[in-house]
Amino acid sequence: MHLTTDPIGVFDSGVGGISTLASLTRRLPHEDFWFYGDTRFAPYGTKTAEEVLHRAQAILREMHSHQVKAVVIACNTATSAAAPALRAAESIPIIGMEPALKPAALLRHGGMNLVLATPMTLRLPKYQALAALWGEGAVPLPCPGLMELVEQQDNAAAEAYLRELLAPYPPERIDSVVLGCTHYVFLRPLLQKLLPHTTSILDGNEGTARQLERVLADRGLLSDREEPGKITFHTSGDPKALLPLMSAMLEKAREILPADSC
């Protein structure tokens, strides 16, 4: 039995999920959030699906000891690898993420929708099923090594990576760029600089926040307290180095949060 004031667990392989956390806390400011960055075992996107499932199960065990009332997998890769198995085993709501292919398809006007994600996300059946429905004009672009540049906050290297990645595609033919990895949301300002202002840059964070709100409301689990919720950060990596970085990344994510992302 859970209380409405119990925290919501949120996890990712590292700081990427903090971009999701920014949307979650904006939509649900009275909730407590318990965020876990699995930095010691990052990256997820170049591992096997089994390895990522084992990490997700271990993180869920840890979250249960903190009484979480729901879990957000703030990671497209871990959702593809682990969400069905976690849902089958858990009684609390498990909210996952997927690349925003549907909104991109609805906005498309005959050009390309570039889908940037980890190799695992693009390889697993979840993406294949999504692409079968909404993949017209979608160009999947696996980006091994890109999450590491976000973790290191190496903007110059990230810019060089993106310039090379985008070089084969004429800018006027790119209708949208789908950020299919929560780390890449931190690259939004860089992409805005590199792409025409007519290109939509889409992520799944706001949709995930709306879904979490709906599910908590359905189960009568929305916090009913008046005061702002608390956010705590946890990591499998070195807490001394990472906890201050995680707080700073939340501030950064809030600065770049679009008013109406999908």
Kindly list the residues in this chain that would bind ligand DGL in the complex (CB under 6 A). 12-13, 16, 42-45, 75-77, 118, 121, 147, 181-183
Q: Is 88 helix (H, G, I), strand (E, B) or coil?
A: helix
Instruction: In angstroms, give the least distance from the CB of 138 to ligand DGL.
Output: 17
- The residue with its CB nearest to ligand DGL is 45
Instruction: In angstroms, give the least distance from the CB of 164 to ligand DGL.
Output: 19
Helices within 90-204 (DSSP H only): 101-107, 119-123, 125-134, 146-151, 155-166, 188-194
Question: Contact, 195 vs 183, CB < 8 A?
Answer: no
Q: Which is nearer to ligand DGL, 217 or 248 (CB)?
A: 248
Cα dihedral sign for 127, 235, 55, 4? negative
75 included as an active-site residue: yes
Q: Compute φ and ψ for 31, nearest 5 degrees.
A: -90, 150
232, 185, 206: which is closest to 23 by C-alpha?
206
Instruction: In angstroms, give the least distance from the CB of 218 to ligand DGL.
Output: 25
Question: Contact, 60 vs 90, CB < 8 A?
Answer: yes
Q: Which is nearer to ligand DGL, 20 or 223 (CB)?
A: 20
- Which residue of the set 82, 178, 181, 195 is catalytic? 181
Distance CA 111, CA 117 (A): 19
Distance CA 17, CA 84 (A): 19
Q: Which is nearer to ligand DGL, 51 or 136 (CB)?
A: 51
- Which residue of the set 24, 75, 104, 112 is catalytic? 75
Instruction: In angstroms, give the least distance from the CB of 42 to ligand DGL.
Output: 5
Q: Which is nearer to ligand DGL, 36 or 44 (CB)?
A: 44
| Active site (catalytic) residues | 75, 181
